[in-house]
């Protein structure tokens, strides 16, 4: 009798993640004043260097396909749904990663300000995404990607407050006890006395750690942020944070009106 013995492949107990958050300025050429599609095609190939990418202002379906095809990265989630028929755009959010996803959730924000005034945020259907990824067998991570209200008026501030409330509710409800990587354009400046309490609320009430602050970076006032949170069975540590300065065209001009922000994370299964 011949016995065939299967050799089990051990589940990794630790690893590393290269994470990027990038507002790609994917508005129509009439607004950006340049060839938006060409910029997104130039951005795409550099996204392939990352394990996880959170993209903002990826508004148009056709241009989104250009970005995705150029990146070679699987698009796990693109949040293009309109909140209401009169909105021009969806949320402009996308998560790109080669890691397998077991759940995808998207939620529109309940507040916005301005169509032809303020920062015209009500032309889009802003919100946030939650993608549950598998790092290894039995090792899961919740990824949040978002873009908060722009503008500096009182109504903009009120909308951002509502956005933070929604995010904290999801982080402490849907993702209770889970490890989190959070990417996004927060439109919140640490140096602004109105913005700072909202950043404190988002970070402290949801148990998040700012990747920039974690490594003592010298640019804590940037609005494009990466947060992390360890979970009951997965520990996350920020190893490095930086601006990825490669995202420029052949003449050295930026490919977006935002910088691309990257972080290296180390993860460890704790049980």
Query: Is-contact 181 17, C-beta < 8 A?
Result: yes
pTM of the model: 0.94
Q: Determine the average pLDDT of the residues in 99-126.
A: 91
Give Cβ neighbours of residue 143 (< 8 Å, ≥ 6 apart): 52, 54, 95, 97, 129, 130, 131, 132, 133, 180, 181, 182, 183
Per-residue exposure over 72-109, b if at least 16 CB sit within 10 Å of its own CB, e if not: ebebbbbbbeebeeebebbbbbbbbbebebeeebbbbb
Task: Measure CA of the first residue to CA of the last residue in the chain; give whole Å.
Answer: 39
Q: Which two tokens stand for residue 186?
A: 């927060």
Q: How high is the pLDDT of residue 6?
A: 47
Q: Looking at domain 14-269, what is its CATH homologous superfamily?
A: Endonuclease/exonuclease/phosphatase (3.60.10.10)
Q: How many C-beta atoms surround the C-beta of residue 123 within 10 A?
A: 17
Banded pLDDT at 11 (limits 50, 70, 90): low
Q: How far apart are CA 221 and CA 213, in angstroms?
A: 10
Q: How high is the pLDDT of residue 3?
A: 47
Residue-range domain boundaries for the chain:
14-269
């Amino acid at each position: 009798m011949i016995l065939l013995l299967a050799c089990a492949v051990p589940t990794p107990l630790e690893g590393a993640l290269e994470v990027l958050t990038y507002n790609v300025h994917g508005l129509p050429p009439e607004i950006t004043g340049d060839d938006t599609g060409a910029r997104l095609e130039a951005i795409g190939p550099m996204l392939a260097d990352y394990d996880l990418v959170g993209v903002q202002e990826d508004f148009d379906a056709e241009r989104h396909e250009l970005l995705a095809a150029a990146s070679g990265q699987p698009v796990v989630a693109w949040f293009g749904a309109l909140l209401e028929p009169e909105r021009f755009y969806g949320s402009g959010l996308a998560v790109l990663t080669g890691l397998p996803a077991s759940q995808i959730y998207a939620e529109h924000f309940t507040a916005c300000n301005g169509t032809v005034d303020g920062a015209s945020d009500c032309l889009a259907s802003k919100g946030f995404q939650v993608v549950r990824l598998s790092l290894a067998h039995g090792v899961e991570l919740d990824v949040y990607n978002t873009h908060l209200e722009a503008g500096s008026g009182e109504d903009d501030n009120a909308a951002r407050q509502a956005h933070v409330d929604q995010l904290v509710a999801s982080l402490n409800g849907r993702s209770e006890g889970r490890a989190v990587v959070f990417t996004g354009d927060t439109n919140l400046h640490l140096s602004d006395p109105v913005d700072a309490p909202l950043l404190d609320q988002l970070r402290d009430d949801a148990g998040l750690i700012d990747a920039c602050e974690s490594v003592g970076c010298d640019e804590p006032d940037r609005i494009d942020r990466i947060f992390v949170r360890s979970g009951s069975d997965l520990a996350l540590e920020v190893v490095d944070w930086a601006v990825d300065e490669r995202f420029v065209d052949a003449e050295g001009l930026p490919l977006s009106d935002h910088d691309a922000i990257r972080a290296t994370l180390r993860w460890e299964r704790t049980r």
